[in-house]
């Protein structure tokens, strides 16, 4: 056999072998055969020590596809958020000579609910009547405090409570907010507020604008106008009285019986050039003095009104460019550019929440936020501040606030248009004195609201 033919056959054999080797991975795996084989009898229970593990060779991997390990499932269970029971509260002020309130707590659910009801008393008030097994407590040496009920609300029921207060300053309005919490007294289910007004006290007269004839700027302007008109009339009359007479009319003269003749006047002598008449000096000086007095009086009155409208007790705010700051107390709805804030409760101490890891004392505020705009609005924890009596302030503790809201971040999602959100805010303060005032705002360019909580 020629050498060239032997070389060709050897080359053909090598090519065929390489083709067979390349085609082996594409063959179907042996798993179907293994599955089709008859199952072996299971060993007796005494012999079985551990469950059989699947054979790794039974899983085929296509050519060119890397082997990826299966995803490892999470070991911990998904967090379960407890549902909010359908509990609501309504508060109404009684028309009695002393401050009184009617509180209705309703459970619309199909199961009984354990709740804690708290009514905050304003400063200078104490409870005289409490129904429904409530208990009035307060700080030592002070008259302000809180009325607490621990109730078990039956399914689809309404519980009515009544309270009566005594205040130090008779005749003033009294606002007492009320909230329904869980058994821990931290997570609010619902809050409501009402303001009692003494029916014997006549309503305050509405402040109306003074009539025009009693406004200093209008009086000064009218006086200046009268002086100007009077001066103009006098000047016009004097000028008309001093106007020079015209040329003398022609005269007709008769002499004897002859015809009448016409005597022409003698040629007039050249008249001196007349000077332009000017108003008297006293008139010009009087008009100028009246106008100056009117301008100075109007400026002084405007400046006085602006200074009287300033509130020197307000602390300066950062970036308050839109609107004006609104102030109030607990339970009073306060509106700014985008939100309506209502602070129902403010309490500090170790019993409210666990102490912060870095030290400090937690102070919990129950706040209601209502979006009064037609669009969703976002707000941030760093813009919510608690002012101390020393003048320093601290921002909301977002980590502690998330813990108080059972792991939910209230600042992560925007507030929908027209929606009301009720949540606890936590401020971590250092020192023995609690916050004196809260500053809440929707944005950095909003003036915000200030709530007195001391």
Please report whether residue 226 resides in a domain.
no
Please report whether residue 383 resides in a domain.
yes
CATH number for 116: 2.60.40.1510
Please report whether residue 91 resides in a domain.
yes
Indicate if the alpha-carbon torsion angle 54, 56, 58, 60 is positive or negative: positive
Q: Any idea what DSSP says for residue 140?
A: T
CATH number for 342: 2.60.40.1240
pLDDT tens per residue across all 454 residues of the chain? 455 566 667 777 776 666 667 655 555 554 444 444 444 544 444 433 444 444 333 334 343 434 444 444 444 444 445 567 899 999 999 888 889 999 999 999 999 999 999 999 988 888 999 999 999 886 543 445 899 999 999 999 999 999 999 887 766 789 999 999 988 888 899 999 999 987 766 455 455 566 666 667 777 777 777 777 787 777 777 777 766 555 445 555 555 555 555 555 556 556 666 566 666 776 777 777 777 877 777 777 777 766 555 554 444 444 446 777 889 999 999 999 899 999 999 988 766 676 666 678 889 999 999 999 999 999 999 999 999 998 899 999 999 999 888 889 999 989 999 999 999 999 999 888 889 999 999 988 888 999 998 7
CA distance readout (Å), 410 to 57, 237, 439 = 52, 81, 17
Residue among 451, 427, 437 nearest 343 (CA): 451
Task: Tell which of 169, 196, 223 closes a domain.
Answer: 196
Please report whether residue 283 resides in a domain.
no
Phi/psi at 453 (nearest 5 deg)?
-120, 5
Please report whether residue 185 resides in a domain.
yes
Number of independent structural domains in the chain: 2
Please report whether residue 71 resides in a domain.
no
Structure tokens at 129: 């009547």
Please report whether residue 403 resides in a domain.
yes
Task: Tell which of 153, 180, 196 closes a domain.
Answer: 196
Task: Tell which of 196, 213, 246 closes a domain.
Answer: 196
Please report whether residue 288 resides in a domain.
no
Q: Residue 346's domain spans which residues?
A: 326-452
Q: Which long-range contacts (CB under 8 A, 24 or more apart) does 396-403 make?
A: 396/425, 396/426, 396/427, 397/356, 397/362, 397/426, 397/427, 397/428, 400/353, 400/356, 400/362, 400/426, 400/428, 401/425, 401/426, 403/353
Rounded CA separation 190/200 (Å): 32
Residue among 337, 352, 369, 361 nearest 434 (CA): 361
Phi/psi at 61 (nearest 5 deg)?
-115, 120
């Amino acid at each position: 056999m020629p050498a060239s033919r032997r070389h060709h056959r050897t080359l053909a054999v090598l090519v065929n072998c390489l083709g067979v080797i390349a085609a082996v991975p594409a063959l179907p795996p042996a798993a179907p055969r293994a599955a089709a084989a008859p199952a072996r009898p299971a060993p007796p229970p005494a012999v079985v020590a551990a469950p059989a593990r699947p054979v790794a060779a039974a899983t085929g991997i296509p050519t060119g596809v890397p082997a990826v390990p299966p995803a490892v499932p999470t070991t911990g269970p998904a967090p379960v958020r407890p549902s909010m029971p359908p509990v609501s509260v309504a508060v109404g002020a009684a028309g009695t000579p002393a401050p009184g309130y009617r509180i209705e707590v309703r459970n619309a659910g199909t199961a009984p609910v354990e709740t804690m009801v708290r009514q905050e008393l304003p400063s200078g008030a104490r409870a005289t009547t409490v129904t429904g097994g409530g208990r009035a407590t307060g700080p030592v040496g002070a008259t302000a405090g809180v009325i607490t009920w621990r109730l078990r609300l039956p399914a689809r029921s309404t519980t009515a409570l009544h309270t009566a207060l005594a205040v130090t300053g008779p005749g003033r309005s009294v606002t007492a907010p009320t909230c329904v919490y869980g058994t821990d007294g931290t997570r609010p289910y619902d809050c409501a507020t009402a303001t009692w007004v003494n029916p014997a006290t006549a309503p305050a007269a509405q402040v109306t604008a003074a009539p025009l004839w009693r406004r200093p700027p209008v009086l000064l302007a009218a006086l200046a106008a009268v002086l100007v008109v009077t001066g103009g009339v006098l000047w016009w009359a004097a000028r008309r009285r001093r106007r020079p007479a015209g040329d003398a009319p022609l005269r007709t003269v008769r002499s004897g019986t002859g015809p009448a003749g016409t005597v022409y006047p003698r040629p007039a002598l050249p008249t001196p050039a007349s000077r332009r008449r000017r108003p008297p000096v006293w008139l010009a000086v009087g008009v100028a003095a009246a106008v100056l007095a009117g301008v100075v009086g109007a400026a002084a009155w405007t400046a006085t009104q602006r200074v009287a409208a300033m509130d020197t007790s307000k602390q300066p705010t950062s970036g308050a460019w839109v609107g004006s700051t609104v102030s109030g107390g607990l339970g009073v709805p306060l509106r700014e550019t985008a939100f309506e804030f209502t602070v129902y409760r403010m309490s500090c101490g170790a019993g409210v929440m666990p102490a912060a890891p870095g030290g400090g004392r937690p102070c919990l505020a129950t706040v209601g936020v209502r979006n009064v705009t037609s669009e969703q609005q976002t707000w941030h924890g760093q813009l919510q501040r608690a002012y101390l009596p020393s003048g320093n302030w601290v921002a909301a503790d977002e980590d502690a606030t998330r813990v108080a809201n059972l792991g939910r971040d209230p600042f992560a999602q925007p507030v929908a248009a027209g929606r009301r959100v009720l949540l606890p805010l936590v401020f971590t303060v250092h020192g023995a004195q609690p916050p004196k005032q809260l500053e809440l705002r929707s944005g950095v360019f909003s003036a915000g609201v200030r709530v007195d909580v001391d």
